[in-house]
Structure 1
Amino acid sequence: MVIKVFLASSSGSTAIKKKQQDVVGFLEALKVEYAQLDIACSEENRMWMRQNVPQEKKPSNGIPLPPQIFNEEGYCGDYETFFDAKEDNAVFAFLGLPPPPGSKEADQGGIVQNGTHAEETNAENGNVDDSIEVPVTEETAPAEEEEEEEEQEEEDLQSEEEEELLQLEEEEEAEVQEPEGASRYVSP
């Protein structure tokens, strides 16, 4: 299974660049095999990405921005869903990959080094403990306000990024329409 990360190598948006670097850096740290597919240099990659992001996951203008993450042909998500999975120690589940034994995600799933589940190991040893308590925390109003502010910043950023992508596309179209060897200089 190959993880595909769709990126824009020539994005003028520092936010997009940061998000792309965050995804790629984290995948490298986890030693996950992935392929970087550039949508800025390849119309084929751009069209494939746009067509394969589910409609309900696309922004209001219908144009998904990089980074977008796929497992082969299956859509995993965008940066926001990747970030949420990272925060929840669920990146392997997000990517549709089995977590390696000994990882936080495997520990959460109860998988121990030999591939058996922790419940099986405890039962074999006669240690059955049903009294595990999980603390529950409630979100506070300031956290909600911060989330709303982040969403507004994201919307503003997305509008800026969409403008840059449209400008990039217009420049590419202009280059295609201009005959080869034609000069842009017009004599007075």
Structure 2
Amino acid sequence: MVIKVYIATSSGSTKIKKQQQDVISFMAVNKIEFEECDIAANEANRKWMRENVPEELRPATGNPLPPQIFNESKYCGSYEAFFEAREDNAVYAFLGLTAPPGSKVKLLNTNTYR
């Protein structure tokens, strides 16, 4: 299973850039295998991300903004959901991964963080 983080490398938003970097840094530091999928440079990535964020979790107006996180094709959540899971020590459950031995984690219902 590969975690896919949908990002926009050419975003003009400082907030989006910081959120993307936060997710990517966390993954790298914790040695979680992931793939960056750029929606700015690849139209297919942009279309796929927009179509696969669940309807009930899309913004009322406009399109879902990066970063959006998937485990293969299963939607995990947005940055806000990631942040909340990280604060609760539940990122592995949020990502649908088994925590490595010795990790400080909580078990949870994976629907909690959407």
TM-score normalised by length of structure 1: 0.56
Provide, for residues 132-152 of structure 1, a one-character-per-residue CA deviation record: whole Å limited to 9, x for no partner: xxxxxxxxxxxxxxxxxxxxx
Q: Which amino acid aligns with 1:65?
A: L
Unaligned runs of 5+ residues in structure 1 are: 110-188
Quick one: distance in 2 between partners of 1:84 and 1:29? 18
Quick one: distance in 2 between partners of 1:30 and 1:90? 13
Give the Å deviation of 1:61: 1.1
Give the Å deviation of 1:15: 0.4
1:61-100 paired onto structure 2 within 5 Å? 61-100=61-100
Quick one: distance in 2 between partners of 1:62 and 1:95? 25
The SS at the match of 2:35 is strand
Q: Which amino acid aligns with 1:45?
A: N
Higher strand share: 2
Give the Å deviation of 1:62: 4.3
Quick one: distance in 2 between partners of 1:76 and 1:52? 11
Counterpart in the other structure of 2:111: none
Quick one: distance in 2 between partners of 1:81 and 1:7? 16
Aligned residues: 107
Quick one: distance in 2 between partners of 1:13 and 1:73? 26
Q: Which amino acid aligns with 1:98?
A: T
Provide, for residues 139-184 of structure 1, a one-character-per-residue CA deviation record: whole Å limited to 9, x for no partner: xxxxxxxxxxxxxxxxxxxxxxxxxxxxxxxxxxxxxxxxxxxxxx
1:34-183 paired onto structure 2 within 5 Å? 34-105=34-105, 108=106
Quick one: distance in 2 between partners of 1:96 and 1:62? 28
Counterpart in the other structure of 1:31: 31
Q: Which runs of 4+ in 1 moved over 6 A?
A: none
The SS at the match of 1:104 is coil
Higher helix share: 1
The SS at the match of 2:37 is strand
Quick one: distance in 1 between partners of 2:62 and 2:85? 24
Unaligned runs of 5+ residues in structure 2 are: 108-114
The SS at the match of 1:47 is helix
